[in-house]
Amino acid sequence: MNSDQILSESRDKMEKGVEFFRESLNGLRTGRVSPALVENIRVDAYGSPMPLNQLASISVPEPRTLLVKPFDPSMCTAIEKGILKGDIGIMPETDGKVVRLAVPMMSQEQRDKMTGRVKELAEQARVVVRNIRRDQNKAAETARKASELSEDLERDLKDEIQKLVKSMESEIDQIAAARTKEIQES
């Protein structure tokens, strides 16, 4: 494996880690109501757990309300149970055709808890990026031992991987800061 391949693979894996972090933040509640709050909640449907967004359309008809309209109206009670199991702190109301979620204002304590969760997820994302660095550095060492890279190329490659790590950590910090600001403002 040459240095370009190792660097390219490093970039791809790290970008996937950052994207996973970004997606995991979508499920966190902020002051604003968003379908992302419930779309990945698992609902027992048709004999297996399925994400809510595959069973229903989710909309925001009013600033503090989510409307979940099942494709199959008989799924209302299963969706209601799934939302309760999801433990998002919102009580669902159903009329047999749709499920309404009245989203209450967040208290400062809840905001602080969500901010702490953002920090935890950011640190997990940083660890993922660092683990990728470790693995790619090992790949560079293996390539040098197999005489595919010179010592100078190995050192340069490790420097490039380190620059990539710093760049990804910076991006993670920016995403976390923006999400924290969003949680504290709304």
Q: What is the token pair recorded at 148?
A: 């595919």
Q: Which residues contact 30 (CB under 8 A, 6 or more apart)?
A: 106, 114, 179, 182, 183, 186
- At residue 94, φ and ψ (nearest 5 deg) are -125, 150
Q: What is the token pair recorded at 101?
A: 């979620």
Weakest-pLDDT range from 75-84, 134-143, 153-162: 75-84
Per-residue confidence at 136, pLDDT binned at 50, 70, 90? very high
What does CATH list as the number for 3-26+107-185? 1.10.132.20
DSSP state of 96: S
Mean pLDDT to the nearest integer, 113-131: 92
Spell out the domain ranges in the chain: 3-26+107-185, 35-102
Per-residue confidence at 76, pLDDT binned at 50, 70, 90? confident
| CA–CA dist 71, 78 (Å, integer) | 13
Weakest-pLDDT range from 6-15, 17-26, 121-130, 158-167: 17-26
In this prediction, residue 73 carries a pLDDT of: 84
In this prediction, residue 171 carries a pLDDT of: 95
In this prediction, residue 31 carries a pLDDT of: 64
The CATH architecture assigned to 35-102 reads: 2-Layer Sandwich (3.30)
- At residue 90, φ and ψ (nearest 5 deg) are -125, 130
In this prediction, residue 81 carries a pLDDT of: 87
* Whether residue 185 has pLDDT greater than 90: no
Summarised one tens digit per residue, pLDDT across range 99-115 is: 898 887 778 888 888 88
Mean pLDDT to the nearest integer, 51-58: 87
Cβ atoms of residues 2 and 157 within 8 Å: no
Summarised one tens digit per residue, pLDDT across range 154-179 is: 899 999 999 999 999 999 999 999 98
| CA–CA dist 143, 75 (Å, integer) | 55
